[in-house]
C-alpha cells in the first residue's frame, strides 16, 4: 500500500496548505500598474443628437464626437472650456 497517497480530507488539507504557502510567498506587485487617467470628455451619458445637430447631453456636434478619440488633450480642453459653454447659452437651452 502507498502510505504517501492522501485521501479525502487529508488530501484537501495538504493541498490547501501548499496553496496558502505559495500565495503567501508571491510578490503581488509584479504586475501592478497604475490606472490610466480618465479621458477628458464632457459626455454625461445622454447621447442623442437634437434637431440642431448637437448632442443633448454634452452639446458636441456629431463630427466632434466622432473625432474626439483622435484629438489631443489640448484640443479637448479648448472645446470643453471655450466652445461648449458658449453653446450652452443658446436659445434652445432649458
* pLDDT given for residue 4 in this prediction: 57
- Asked if residue 78 is part of any domain, the answer here is yes
* pLDDT digits 0-9 by tens, 22-73: 777 776 666 777 888 888 999 999 999 999 999 999 999 999 999 999 999 9
Phi and psi at 36, nearest 5°, equal: -65, 150
* pLDDT given for residue 93 in this prediction: 46
* pLDDT given for residue 94 in this prediction: 45
- Residue 19, SS3? helix
User: In this model, does residue 21 exceed pLDDT 50?
Assistant: yes
Number of domains the chain contains: 1
User: In this model, does residue 89 exceed pLDDT 70?
Assistant: yes
- Asked if residue 93 is part of any domain, the answer here is yes
- Asked if residue 19 is part of any domain, the answer here is no
Task: Record the pTM.
Answer: 0.57
- Residue 49, SS3? strand
Determine the structural domain holding residue 50 and report its residue range: 39-94
Amino acid at each position: 500500500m502507498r502510505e504517501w497517497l492522501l485521501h479525502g480530507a487529508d488530501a484537501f488539507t495538504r493541498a490547501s496548505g501548499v496553496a496558502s504557502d505559495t500565495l503567501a510567498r508571491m510578490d503581488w506587485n509584479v504586475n501592478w500598474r497604475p490606472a490610466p487617467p480618465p479621458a477628458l470628455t464632457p459626455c454625461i451619458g445622454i447621447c442623442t443628437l437634437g434637431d440642431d445637430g448637437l448632442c443633448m447631453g454634452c452639446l458636441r456636434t456629431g463630427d466632434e464626437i466622432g473625432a474626439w478619440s483622435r484629438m489631443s488633450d489640448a484640443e479637448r480642453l479648448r472645446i470643453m472650456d471655450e466652445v461648449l459653454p458658449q453653446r450652452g447659452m443658446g436659445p434652445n437651452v432649458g
